[in-house]
């Protein structure tokens, strides 16, 4: 469908991210789901943003099914962004690395930072900021002055992917990651789906049940799968 994914396990993805941070380069991670792939069909800027990422993780069971239908299966399966960042932060905590949390409503990033310090002793919170800002330059300056090893950009897709790529040259951060609503989960405002739903790739169904307003967005999933089948035929 025009979007390339890395067929990689969570542990290998974390190793790559950790090495990238230590290497002092500059890269970013994206975690597209079927909705994002669907948007990429008509948004070339978003498509280029996804293509330019150092790591593209299949965050969505629809991506796994789509790849299988097209005859290019992802042997490592789905890699949820929240699982990836959780393991990465645990690894970073072992060597006292730092993370900057950007996104969500006012107060959420701060609460998430407090919870992360409890979850991962040794991790440093370089700074926090909510997603309701209008001055990109001021935000970049705030982030750079904090000198984080990792920047979590949780502005929702596709805004976070477009923001990362537009500001990447100005950011002095080794690694950025667009991770949607993970700050709300870390802060305890949103509960992740029970393990049963996670195991069978039904987290999307759980979220719709909890947040019916998501139903309209979720209608893109069957459209995505129909497009995949049409391409296969």
Q: Which of 125, 50, 48 is nearest to 92 (CA)?
A: 125
Residue 4 lies in a domain: no
So what's the pLDDT on residue 215? 64
Residue 76 lies in a domain: yes
| C-alpha Rg value of the chain to the nearest Å | 17
Q: Which of 177, 206, 176 is nearest to 31 (CA)?
A: 177
Whole-angstrom distance, CA of residue 92 vs CA of residue 99: 9
So what's the pLDDT on residue 194? 76
Is residue 210 within 8 Å of 184, Cβ to Cβ? Answer: no
So what's the pLDDT on residue 198? 73
Q: Which element (helix H / strand E) includes 179?
A: none
Q: How many domains does one find in the chain?
A: 1
The pTM score is 0.93
So what's the pLDDT on residue 216? 67
* Burial label, 232 (beta-carbon count in 10 A; 0-12, 13-18, 19+): exposed
Give the torsion through C-alpha atoms of 18, 24, 28, 31, to 10 deg: 0
Is residue 105 within 8 Å of 86, Cβ to Cβ? Answer: no
So what's the pLDDT on residue 220? 75
Question: Sign of torsion, CA 50 54 59 60?
Answer: positive
So what's the pLDDT on residue 221? 80
So what's the pLDDT on residue 219? 72
So what's the pLDDT on residue 203? 75
Q: Which of 60, 36, 32, 10 is nearest to 202 (CA)?
A: 60
Q: Which element (helix H / strand E) includes 196?
A: helix 195-199
Domain of 71? Answer: 10-232
pLDDT 10s digit of each residue in the chain, 233 long?
889 999 999 999 999 999 999 997 899 999 999 999 999 999 999 999 999 999 999 998 899 999 999 999 999 999 999 999 999 999 999 999 999 999 999 999 999 999 999 999 999 999 999 999 999 999 999 999 999 999 999 999 999 999 999 999 999 999 999 999 999 999 999 887 677 777 767 776 677 777 777 666 667 788 888 999 999 99
């Amino acid at each position: 469908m025009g979007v390339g994914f890395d067929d990689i396990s969570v542990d290998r993805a974390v190793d790559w991210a950790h090495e990238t941070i230590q290497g002092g380069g500059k890269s970013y991670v994206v975690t597209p789901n079927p909705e994002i792939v669907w948007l990429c069909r008509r948004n070339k800027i978003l498509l280029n943003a996804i293509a330019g990422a150092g790591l593209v993780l299949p965050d969505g069971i629809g991506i796994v099914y789509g790849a299988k239908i097209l005859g290019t299966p992802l042997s490592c399966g789905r890699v949820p962004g929240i699982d990836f960042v959780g393991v990465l932060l645990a690894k970073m905590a072992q060597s006292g690395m730092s993370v900057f949390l950007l996104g969500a409503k006012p107060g959420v990033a701060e609460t998430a930072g407090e919870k992360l310090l409890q979850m991962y002793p040794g991790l440093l919170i370089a700074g926090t900021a909510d997603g309701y800002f209008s001055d990109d330059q001021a935000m970049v300056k705030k982030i750079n002055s904090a000198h984080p090893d990792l920047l979590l950009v949780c502005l929702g897709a596709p805004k976070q992917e477009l923001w990362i790529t537009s500001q990447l040259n100005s950011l002095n951060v080794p690694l950025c990651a667009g991770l949607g609503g993970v700050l709300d989960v870390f802060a305890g405002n949103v509960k992740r789906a029970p393990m049963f739903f996670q195991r069978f790739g039904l987290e999307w169904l759980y979220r719709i049940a909890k947040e019916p307003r998501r139903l309209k967005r979720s209608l893109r999933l069957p459209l995505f799968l129909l497009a995949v089948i049409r391409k296969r035929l």
